[in-house]
Structure formats: structure tokens, C-alpha cells
Amino acid sequence: MSFKKILIFISFIGFLMFLPQPILALKTRVRMISTGVSRTVSGRVTSSVRFKSGRNGIIISLSGLSNAESVSYELTYNTNGITQGAMGTISNITNSTDSRELLFGTCSGGVCRYHTNITNAKLIITSKLKSGTTTRKSYRLKV
């Protein structure tokens, strides 16, 4: 192979690395009824998570928020042996959809410093529904 073909191949692989990639989630949570029959919780909040370009953060997309009183999210991960994270709560909900962007790092004064060597990344989304039910969805992130 010529040097030019190798350079084109490496450039193509590098381009693919920066495309957003979906994050796989655990199965839908099931609530047990007193009769022992299981069913999925109706009127729930659904979520999807994807990496930002460059994999230096995630974007959480939420829908069905009109069914919720509040939704909280907690991102935890280790970087160089130190536990880091971000959390927040959405309350006083006015829209049925919303999204949040969480970074693997810190920002101050418009300057962001991203963490490296990220391991054990986990996102937990907890929804308190108007029906009185609380649902929880966990994501294990492979950064």
C-alpha cells in the first residue's frame, strides 16, 4: 500500500471516532402488582443518552415529562482514582420534553477542563411520577 492510501485510511478511522454513538440501557423497569402479575409502569418518563462529539460528555434526552412531578439525574465516574460526578433535578415541569448536557470535567469562566482516564461511569435517572410511583433507570457508560 502506498503512503497516501494509508493516510486516507487512518483519516477515515479518525473521522468515525468522532461520530455520536448511542449508549445501551438496561431493560425497562417492571412494577409488581399485589396479585403477583407484572406490568410496565404506564405514564412513565422515557430517556435516551448519547455521547457528545469527542466523548467528553453525554446528552440526556427526556420525554413524557408531563407524567412526572420531578426527575433527578446523577452521573458518577472515576478519573485517575478520584470519584467525580454531576447531578441535578428538573422540577416545576412545563414541557413534555427536555434535555441536559453533562460533561466529564469542569467549566469555569467559559474555560472547560476535561477529565481523562475515565472508568466506572454510571448514570441514574429517577422519576417521581404524578401517579405516586417512583421509577429509576441506570446506564453503564463505556467512555
How far, CA to CA in Å, does 100 sit from each of 43, 110, 117, 132?
21, 18, 23, 24
Output the pLDDT for position 87.
Answer: 95
Burial 65-91 (b: 16+ CB within 10 A, else e): bebbebbebbbebbbeeeebebeeebe
The answer to whether residue 97 sits within a structural domain is yes
- Looking at the 3D structure of the chain, how many domains does it have? 1
- pLDDT tens for 3-18 read 777 777 777 666 656 6
The answer to whether residue 2 sits within a structural domain is no
The answer to whether residue 11 sits within a structural domain is no
Residue 123 gets the label, from left (phi > 0), alpha (psi -120 to 50) or beta, of: beta
Question: What is the CATH number for 49?
Answer: 2.60.40.2150
Mean pLDDT of the chain: 83
Least confident of 26-30, 83-87, 103-107, 113-117: 26-30
Contact 50, 23 (CB under 8 A): yes
The answer to whether residue 1 sits within a structural domain is no
The set of cell numbers assigned to 87 is 447531578
The answer to whether residue 85 sits within a structural domain is yes
Q: Kindly report the pTM of this predicted structure.
A: 0.69
Contact 115, 90 (CB under 8 A): no
pLDDT above 90 for 104: yes
- pLDDT tens for 40-55 read 445 789 999 999 988 9
Output the pLDDT for position 12.
Answer: 67
